Structure 1
Amino acid sequence: MTAYTPMIQQYLSVKADYPDAFLFFRLGDFYEMFFDDAIKASQELEITLTGRDGGAEERIPMCGVPYHSASNYIEQLISKGYKVAICEQMEDPKKAKGMVKREVIQLITPGTMMEGKGLAEKENNYIASVTAFEDRTYGLAYTDISTGENRVTLLSNHFEEVLNEIAVLGAKEVVVASDFPGELQQKLRERDVLVISFEDNSSVEFQFAQLLEQLNQEKLKQTSARLLNYLFRSQKRSLDHLQPVATYQIHQYMKIDYYSKRNLELTETIRSKGKKGSLLWLLDETITAMGGRMLKHWIDRPLIDREKIEHRHELVAVFLNHYFERQELRDKLKEVYDLERLAGRVAFGNVNARDLVQLKRSLMQVPSLKQILLNMKNEKMNEVAEGLDPCEEVTDLLERAIVENPPISLKEGNIICDGYNEQLDQYRDASRNGKTWIAQLEREEREKTGIKSLKVGYNRVFGYYIEVTRANLHLLEEGRYERKQTLTNAERFITPELKEKEALILQAEEKISELEYDLFTEIREIVKEYIPRLQALAKVVSELDVLQCFAQVSEDRRYIKPQFSAERRVVIKDGRHPVVEKVLNSQEYVPNDCYMDSEREILLITGPNMSGKSTYMRQIALMAILAQIGCYVPASEAVLPIFDQVFTRIGAADDLISGQSTFMVEMLEAKNAIAYATQNSLILFDEIGRGTSTYDGMALAQAIIEYIHNRIGAKTLFSTHYHELTVLEKELSKLKNIHVSAIEHHGKVVFLHKIKQGPTDKSYGIHVAQLADLPKEVIDRANEILSALEQSPVETVPTVKEAVKPSEPAVQVENFSEQAAQLSFFDEPKEVKKPEFSSKEKKVLDKIRELDLLDVTPLQAINMLYELHKKLKG
C-alpha cells in the first residue's frame, strides 16, 4: 500500500470491502475505476482504457465514466449480472483538509435496481433469501425493493420447491448464509441466479423489527431478517416503504411447477423467451404498470379458494354489464402513474420534482375513479370504491408546492411555486427586480453612449458586464467604465452600480437554489409519511385494473363465465385455445368439447401429428387457469372442478445446462407429476415414451397410465401415437379413447382438428412428412417400407390388466396369442397365427407359470412377457 499515492491507497482500502463489485470511485466529475476493475469495465462497456501514475513503478490501468451519465453504464453492468458499488465524495473538495473523504453510499445489484431501463414497468424485480434448516425445511423470503412488497414462506424438504418458487418469482438474486450447502448454491446458479453469501450474526436492524411483528415462527423471522439486514447494509439509506412481511403458503394457490409453467407458456414462450404468444400477452389489457405486475402475479398463482374466485368473477360481470363506465374507467387509469414505485422512490430518496407531479396527477384521478364505481350501483363495487383513498392532504400539498413543469435537476431551482414559502418569495423578488434593473441599465447606457449594439451580459466566470465592440470604444466617456475583460472584437466593462446589483442578484439566486432544495426535501419527508396509504391505494387500483382487463378481454373474445363442480366434472362445450385463437386472427378456430367425470378420469388421445392434440390438451389447462385467476373462459359453456395442481409434459427440449437429454427431461417431468399429483390435480402428458425404443416407450406409457388410473385418480389427458394403448379402454374402467379426426383426400391428409369419441388407427406420419416437403424419393421409399411392414404378420406385447389382487389368479400365459391379436405396432393389424409350441418352448411356458406374478409391478410383468414374446418370435 505504501508504494501508492494517498488517493490510490484510499481506493484500495474501499475496494477491499467490495472485492466482487465494480467500484465507481468519484473523482470530480467522473467515476473512475482502477486495476482489474478498469480492465474488465473497459471490455464490458467498450470504453477507453488508460492509465495513471499511482506512485508505484508501473502505470495503473484506469478508465472512467462521467457521473451525470453513469446510470447508463451501471445498467449495462447490472444487466450482465455484475454488482456496482458507488463511492461518493462525502465533503466539498474545496473545503477538505487533506484527502477528500469518500465512502460507498450504495451497492447496486440485479435484485436492488430502483430505476432505469433494466427495471421493466410491468414486472417485479425480486431479491430473495433462502435459509436451510436442520429439519430439511427451507425458509424463502423475497422483496421487491422498488415497490416495497415483502413476503415469506416455509417449504418442504424438497429443494425443488425452492427452485420452483424462485422460477415463479423470476428472482435475479438470492441471499444465503455462508454455510449454505454448495450443491444447492450450484442448483440456484444453474437457473441464472446471482447467489450472495451474507453472514448475519446480529438481530434484525431496529427499524425493521416492526416489519416482522406479524410473523409467529422463528424460522420465518430468521429468513426475513437476513434479507432485510442485507438490504439495509447494502443500500445504506431509508427503506421506509418496505411493507410488513406477509406470510403465504404455496398450497393456498394452484401449484404450477417450473416445467408446467414453461410448457403452458403462461408468461413467456418456450422458443423466444418473450411475452408475445404467451397467456400473459393475450390477457394484458391492463392500463397501469402496477396493474400489469398484478396480472402476472395472478397468473403465476391462481386461486383455489372458491369464494375468492367467484368474488372476482362477480366483479368482472359488473364491468361487463357497464360498458360505458368501464371505458370511462380505462380513460382515467391512463392518467395514473406507478404509485408503488413512486412511493418507493420517495422513501429511497431518489424521487425528483417531476415524480411528485406524476404522483399528484395520479391522486387527482382517484375521486373520479371512485365516482365511476359508485355509478354502477353494485354492492360489491361500492365496497371496492371505499378502498380508494384519494390522500387529499398529499394532493393539496403538491398542488401548492411544486410547479407544473419542473426541471429534472433538484439543484437548479424553479421547482417550488410562488406563494409557498415567504422567504423564497423575498429572494425571488430581489432576483427578479435585479434583473429588471439590469435590463433598464442596458437601455439607459445605450441612450447615453449612442451605441445601439451595447449590451449587458452575464457568464458564470466573470459575472455581469457591459460589452462594447472595438469600433465603438471611442464613444465611451473616459473614466466612466472599469475594464473587466478583453475579447478579440470587443471590450467588457463594469460600473460600481453594476457590481452592487451583481452581488445582490447572485446572492439571491444562490440562496434561492439552496432554499428550494431544502423545501423540496421537507416536502418529500411529508409525503413519506403517507407511503402506507399510497401503497394501499395502489393495491386497490391494481386490482381494479386487472378486473377491468378481464372484462375487456372477455367481451372482445367472447368468453363466458365458468361454473365450478364439487363432483369434479369437466364439461366444456365449444372450447378454444385462447392464444392460438388470437394468433389465427381472421381464420376460423375449430372449437372442441371435453367431458370428464368420475367414470371418465383419463382421456387417451390419438390422432396424426399437427392435428391439434397438444393444442386441445393445453386449452383445457389454460381454461382451468383462466377460471381460477378470476377471468372468463373461451367456450360456450364451461363447468370445471377447482384444481389444486396442474402438471404438464408437452414438447421436448434438452436441458444442456445440467447435461440432461430430452428423454431424461421427459422422465423427470413425468416423475414430478405422478409423485405429487392428487385426485384434485390436472395432468397433461403428450407423447410420453417417444424418446426411447418402441417397446420401452410403450411399456413406460402404459405403466404410467395404469399408475395414474389405479393410484392417483387425477383428471388426465394423455396423447399418444402408440395406438396399441387404445385397448386399455377395455381394461381400465375410467379411461376413455378420443381422437383428433383427419381424412385423406387425393393422397393428402386433411386435418379437421375435431375431437371425436373412440380411437384412431392411423398416424399419417408420412403424409405430414410430405407436407414438410421432404424429397419425393424419401416419401416414396417410406411408403414402400410401410406397405411391406403392414403385410407382415406381427405379434406384439399383450396388455397388462389392473394390478393383480391376491385373490385373483395369476396371468394366464395361454391367452397370450389371443391378447396379442388385439394389438399391433403398425397401423392395420393383420391376422396373428396361433403358435405351435415345441417341447422346448413348452418348458419355457411351464417356467412362466411357476412365476409368482402377484408381487410384480405392471412394468416388470410387461418385461417378463416381452422376453416370452421374443422367444415365440425366435
Structure 2
Amino acid sequence: MPDMKTYTPMIQQYLKIKAEVPDAFLFFRLGDFYEMFFDDALKASRELEITLTARDGGVEEKIPMCGVPYHSAAGYIEQLIDKGFKVAICEQTEDPTHAKGIVKREIVQMITPGTVMDSRSLEEKENHYLAAVTGFDDDTYSMAHLDLSTGESKVTILSSKDEAIHELVTIQAREVVLASDADESFVKVLSDRGIRSISYMDDTTVESTFSTILSELKQDKLQLSMARLLHYVQNTQKRSLDHLQQASAYQVDAFLRMDPNSKRNLELTETIRGNSKKGSLVWLLDETITAMGARMMRRWIDRPLINQKQIEERHSIVEVLIDRYFERAELRERLKEVYDLERLAGRVAFGNVNPRDLVQLKKSLQQVPAIKETLLSMNDQKITEDAKKLDPCSDIADRLEAAIIEQAPLVIKDGNFIKDCFNEELDQYRDASRNGKKWIAELEQKEREKTGIRSLKIGYNRVFGYYIEVTKSNLHALPEGMYDRKQTLTNAERFITPELKEKESLILQAEERSIDLEYSLFQGLREEIKQEIPRLQKLAQEISRLDVLQCFATISEERHYSKPAFNHERIIHISEGRHPVVEKVMDSQEYVPNDCQMDESCEMLLITGPNMSGKSTYMRQVALTSILAQIGCFVPAANANLPIFDRIFTRIGAADDLVSGQSTFMVEMLEARHAIAHATQNSLVLFDEIGRGTSTYDGMALAQAIIEYVHDRIGAKTLFSTHYHELTSLDQELSKLANVHVSAVEQNGHVVFLHKIKEGPADKSYGIHVAQLADLPKALIGRANEILVGLESGYQRIEPAVELKNKELASTINEEASIGQLSLFGEELQPKKSKKADALYREMAKINVMEMTPMEAMNELYRLQKLAKSMNESK
C-alpha cells in the first residue's frame, strides 16, 4: 500500500478509522450513501452482489469502491450479519457547515452476529445470545452469555473444555468473545460446531458501571467472563445498556443435562433430516401465544428441571388450567394482545424505540388487569399467588395513553404522533400551524373570487415556500402588479404577496418548532420508561411463564396427555405410552401405544426386532416422555410413574461427521464413550444398534462389552436395541437385563409390522423382507434367500462367545484352520483326513474374517460351500 500521505484527506481519514476495525466491514458515510473502499469494497460487492466501481484517491491507481444507500442500508447489513460478518457504522459527527477541512467522522456502532438489535434480523421465538468464555489454569472455564435484545444475562462455571463447548452449542451462541491468546484448537472446534463469529476482548476489569449487573456474582471466575462480555458490548455498541438485567449464576448440574448430540438425536428443536422445526418437540409444543413465551419454552426444553418440588408446582398449575377451560380460553385471548415486552424494553434502553413500539407497550400493559382478574377467578392458591405478582404498571400505561396517538407512525422525524392536550406549548404551535393553514385555504378561495380564475391555487414546496400559482392561459386576467413574481414554469407563473410571506414565516416556524418539541417530548417519555425497565422485565418473566404453562395445558388437553408421578425407587412405569411427535404427524392414523416397565430388578431392556418396526421410536418416546414430565408438561401416556433423571444420553441414528473427518463408526464410538464416561445410576441411556459400523464380530464384541459395562458398573436405566440376536442370551448372565422385542408377523411371504413391544427376544430379523418392501429386484431377493438358507444350515452355533478379543479370534481361526480344525463360535468341526479336505481347509485358512464386511463374508462362505459341494460330488 502506498504511503498514507499520498492519499487524499478523505481516504486518509477512512484508512485511520478502518484500522480500528480490521475484522469488520466499515460503512463510511458520504452524503446519502455508506461507502466501502479497498478490500472491503471487493468483498462486499461479492457478498452483497452490488456493483464495484472505483474512484481517485490521490494515487496513480483508482481505489476499489462500492456503496449502499443510507435509507436502505439495514437490509444489506442484515445480509452480512447472517453470513457471520461484522459491520462498523461510521457517521459524520459534526455539522459540515461548521467543519474546518474534512468533516469529522467516528464509528458510532458495531453490529455483530451477537449484538443485533434490528427486529428484522432477530428470530422472534428464539433468544439471540452473545457469549464470553474464560479458561483457567485448573482446566475449568467460566462462561457468560446475554441476549442484548431482552437484557437477560447469565454466567456459569464448567469443568472442562468439552463442557464449555457443549454449553455454547446448547445456547446456540451467535458470537463468542475470547481472550486474544485463546487456544487455537478451541476456536477450531467452535468453528466446526457452527459458531462462525469469534471476537476478542482482553479487558476484564470490573468497572463501577458494571456493579449492578455483577452484584450477585461472588466468585472471581464468574465476574471475569461477565466483565469481558460487558467490555465488548460497551466498546461495540457505544450507547446505554440500562436494560441489562442483574447477571444470575447457574449450575448446569441443577438441570437435566443432555449433550448436543443427544438433543439432536431426540430432535428437540429441529429434525435430524432437513434441520426443520416441523417434526421437532418444539414444533409439537408451539402453542404459546407470545414471542417471549415461545423463547421461554425453548429454554425449558433445553434445561428440564431435576427439582421435584419445582416440577410438581408446574404440573399443579397445568392441571388447574386444564380443568378451567373457559378461563384458559379467556387467558389465551388476552395474551394475543400482549406484545414482546422483553424486546420492547430492550429497544427503549437501546434508543431505537419508535412511537408504534410505545403503543404496543401500552396495549400490552392494558391487558394485565384483565389477565390478573382471570387468574384470581380460578380460586387456586398457587395461581392466586402468581396473579398477585403481576404488576400492571398502570402508571406507565396511563402515561402512554395520554401521550401517543393510537395510529402512531414508525418514524419520529415527521412528528404528529403526540396527542393534543399532552403539552401546552405543543398545542400552541399546532394551533398556529393549523390556523395558518386554514387562513391559507381561505386566502386561496378569496383570491379565486377576486381574480375570477377558478384554477388559481396556493401551493408549497421546501425550496420556495408558499406561492400563488396561475396558469399562463389565465395570466391576462391578473391586473398588472397585483402579485410579486417569484418563479416561472413552463405552463404557469408563481407569485407571492407580503401578507402570504408573513403567514408562511409563522406557519413554518410553528411546524418546525412543533416537530422539534415532539422529538424532545418523545425522548423525555423514553427516559421515563427507561427508569421502569426492571418492572417491565419482571412482568415479562411472569407473563412468559404463564404463557408456557397455558400452552402445556392446551397441548395436554388436546393430545390426551396425563399427569405423571415421580418415585425415588428408579421405577419406570409407562402405560400406553406414545411418541408425541410421531403421533401428531400420523394425525388421523391410529398410533400403537406401548408400555415400558422397568423396576429395581430391571436396569436394562435389550430390544430386538426388524428394521422399520419401531425400535428407535420406542426408545425416543421413553426419553421424550421423561423430558416432557421434567419441564412441567403432562405426558403422552395413559399413566406414568417415573424417576427424575439427572442426564439423558442417546446414540441413535448413523451419520458421518464430515466436518471433523469422522466416520459413522467413530461418531458412534465417541458418543458411546461420552455416555459411559458421564452417566450415573440416575441417568437414562439409549443405545441404538451399537457396533453396526464395523465387522460383525467386532461389532458384536463391542456391543456385549458395552452392555456388560453399563449393567455392572453404571447401573443406569438403559434401552439397548440390536440386530445381534446372539446377545439375547445375555439375560441368563446379567441379572438386571430383560429381553423385549417389537413384534412382526409374516403373511403370504411379506412382513407386517405390528409396532407392539412384547417380552422376550425376536425370533428373526426379517431383513430380507424389509429389502423386499424397498422393492429391490426379485432376482436379488431370491438370491439373498438362497444365501440365508446356506448360512443358517452351515453351522450350529452353541453359544455367542463374543468375549474373544479381535486379535484372539482372528488368531484362533487362522491357527486352528492350518492344522485342520476350525473353532468357530464354540463349535468344533472335525474334518475327514483327505487331500480334498486339506485343500478346503487351506482355502479357509487364507481368509481374514476380521477385515471382511458381512456381505463379503457371506459371499466367501458361498464360494467355500460351492467348493465343498463340488468336492463331495467328485468323490
Q: C-alpha separation between the residues in 1 aligned to 2:728 and 2:203? A: 62
Q: C-alpha separation between the residues in 2 aligned to 1:40 and 1:32? A: 13
- Find the partner of 2:94 among 91, 94, 107: 91
Contact 2:201 2:232 in 1 (8 A): no
Contact 1:689 1:701 in 2 (8 A): yes
Contact 1:732 1:801 in 2 (8 A): no
- Find the partner of 1:629 among 628, 631, 636: 631
What residue in structure 1 maps to residue 464 of structure 2? 462
Q: C-alpha separation between the residues in 2 aligned to 1:835 and 1:311? A: 70
Contact 2:204 2:228 in 1 (8 A): no
Query: Which runs of structure 2 are paired with 1:191-270 in the superposition (5 Å)?
Result: 191-201=193-203, 203-270=205-272
Q: C-alpha separation between the residues in 1 aligned to 2:628 and 2:575? A: 16
Q: CA deviation at 1:57?
A: 1.3
Give the aligned residue type for 2:741: H
Q: C-alpha separation between the residues in 2 aligned to 1:237 and 1:594? A: 56
Alpha-carbon displacement from aligned partner over 1:452-503 (angstroms, at most 9, x marks no partner) = 0000001111111000011110111111101111111111100000000111
- Find the partner of 1:355 among 354, 357, 375: 357
What residue in structure 1 maps to residue 692 of structure 2? 690
Q: C-alpha separation between the residues in 2 aligned to 1:182 and 1:800? A: 43
Q: CA deviation at 1:797?
A: 6.0
Alpha-carbon displacement from aligned partner over 1:376-409 (angstroms, at most 9, x marks no partner) = 0100000110111111111011111111112111
Contact 2:414 2:515 in 1 (8 A): yes
Give the aligned residue type for 2:47: E
Contact 2:700 2:802 in 1 (8 A): no
What residue in structure 2 maps to residue 318 of structure 1? 320
What residue in structure 1 maps to residue 273 of structure 2? 271
Contact 1:605 1:720 in 2 (8 A): yes
Contact 1:570 1:597 in 2 (8 A): yes
Contact 1:204 1:228 in 2 (8 A): no
What SS does the aligned partner of 2:494 have? strand
Alpha-carbon displacement from aligned partner over 1:179-223 (angstroms, at most 9, x marks no partner) = 111111111111121353434346233221221111111111111
Q: C-alpha separation between the residues in 2 aligned to 1:783 and 1:33? A: 69
The answer as to 2:548 corresponding to 1:546 is yes
| Root mean square deviation, CA, Å | 2.0
Q: CA deviation at 1:824?
A: 10
Contact 1:455 1:467 in 2 (8 A): yes
Contact 2:646 2:683 in 1 (8 A): yes
Give the aligned residue type for 2:503: K
Contact 1:49 1:61 in 2 (8 A): yes
What residue in structure 1 maps to residue 37 of structure 2? 34
Q: CA deviation at 1:68?
A: 1.2
What residue in structure 1 maps to residue 717 of structure 2? 715
- Please say which of residues 786-795 and 498-507 is displaced more in the overlay: 786-795
Give the aligned residue type for 1:153: T
Give the aligned residue type for 2:101: G
- TM-score (norm: length of structure 1): 0.92
Query: Which runs of structure 2 are paired with 1:667-746 in the superposition (5 Å)?
Result: 667-746=669-748
- Find the partner of 2:73 among 70, 74, 78: 70
- Find the partner of 1:160 among 159, 162, 172: 162
What residue in structure 2 maps to residue 819 of structure 1? none
Change (3 A) 1:356 1:824: farther
Q: C-alpha separation between the residues in 1 aligned to 2:442 and 2:430? A: 18
Q: CA deviation at 1:258?
A: 0.9
What residue in structure 2 maps to residue 860 of structure 1? none
Q: C-alpha separation between the residues in 1 aligned to 2:802 and 2:784? A: 32
Contact 1:172 1:192 in 2 (8 A): no
Q: CA deviation at 1:90?
A: 1.1
Q: CA deviation at 1:4?
A: 1.3
The answer as to 2:385 corresponding to 1:383 is yes
What SS does the aligned partner of 2:57 have? coil
- Find the partner of 2:654 among 652, 655, 679: 652
Contact 2:727 2:800 in 1 (8 A): no
What residue in structure 2 maps to residue 7 of structure 1? 10
Contact 1:796 1:824 in 2 (8 A): no
The answer as to 2:473 corresponding to 1:471 is yes
Q: C-alpha separation between the residues in 2 aligned to 1:198 and 1:106? A: 17
What SS does the aligned partner of 1:194 have? coil
What residue in structure 1 maps to residue 122 of structure 2? 119
Q: CA deviation at 1:272?
A: 1.1
Alpha-carbon displacement from aligned partner over 1:622-676 (angstroms, at most 9, x marks no partner) = 0000000000000101000000000000001111111100000000000010110
Q: C-alpha separation between the residues in 2 aligned to 1:352 and 1:393? A: 20
What residue in structure 2 maps to residue 521 of structure 1? 523
Give the aligned residue type for 1:135: D
Contact 2:701 2:803 in 1 (8 A): no
Contact 2:85 2:197 in 1 (8 A): no
What residue in structure 2 maps to residue 57 of structure 1? 60
Q: CA deviation at 1:505?
A: 0.7
Q: CA deviation at 1:580?
A: 0.2
What residue in structure 1 maps to residue 761 of structure 2? 759
Contact 1:430 1:505 in 2 (8 A): yes
What residue in structure 2 maps to residue 43 of structure 1? 46
What SS does the aligned partner of 1:255 have? coil
What SS does the aligned partner of 2:5 have? coil
Query: Which runs of structure 2 are paired with 1:474-623 in the superposition (5 Å)?
Result: 474-623=476-625
Change (3 A) 1:276 1:204: same
Q: CA deviation at 1:5?
A: 1.2
Give runs of ≥4 in structure 1 deviating > 6 Å.
none
What SS does the aligned partner of 2:106 have? strand
What residue in structure 2 maps to residue 805 of structure 1? none
- Please say which of residues 196-205 and 695-704 is displaced more in the overlay: 196-205
Contact 2:604 2:719 in 1 (8 A): yes
Q: CA deviation at 1:796?
A: 6.6
What SS does the aligned partner of 1:791 have? helix
Give the aligned residue type for 1:22: F
What residue in structure 2 maps to residue 814 of structure 1? none
Q: C-alpha separation between the residues in 2 aligned to 1:385 and 1:787? A: 71
What SS does the aligned partner of 2:416 have? coil
Change (3 A) 1:229 1:243: same
Q: CA deviation at 1:92?
A: 2.4
Change (3 A) 1:501 1:796: farther
- Find the partner of 2:184 among 155, 171, 182: 182
Q: C-alpha separation between the residues in 2 aligned to 1:17 and 1:380? A: 55
Q: CA deviation at 1:834?
A: 7.4
Q: C-alpha separation between the residues in 1 aligned to 2:360 and 2:471? A: 49
Alpha-carbon displacement from aligned partner over 1:327-372 (angstroms, at most 9, x marks no partner) = 0100000000000000000000000110011000000000000000
Q: C-alpha separation between the residues in 2 aligned to 1:800 and 1:777? A: 34
- Find the partner of 1:426 among 409, 425, 428: 428
Change (3 A) 1:240 1:837: farther
Contact 1:467 1:492 in 2 (8 A): yes
Contact 2:204 2:224 in 1 (8 A): no
In structure 2, stretches of 5+ residues that fail to align are 805-822, 834-860, 869-875
In structure 1, stretches of 5+ residues that fail to align are 803-822, 826-830, 839-869
Percent of aligned pairs sharing the same letter: 67
What residue in structure 1 maps to residue 840 of structure 2? none
- Please say which of residues 766-775 and 307-316 is displaced more in the overlay: 766-775
Change (3 A) 1:796 1:502: farther
Change (3 A) 1:79 1:720: same
- Find the partner of 1:128 among 117, 128, 131: 131
Query: Which runs of structure 2 are paired with 1:792-811 in the superposition (5 Å)?
Result: 792-795=794-797, 798-799=800-801
Q: C-alpha separation between the residues in 2 aligned to 1:201 and 1:286? A: 40
Contact 2:355 2:404 in 1 (8 A): yes
What SS does the aligned partner of 2:790 have? helix
Give the aligned residue type for 1:418: D
Query: Which runs of structure 2 are paired with 1:787-826 in the superposition (5 Å)?
Result: 787-795=789-797, 798-799=800-801
What SS does the aligned partner of 1:256 have? coil
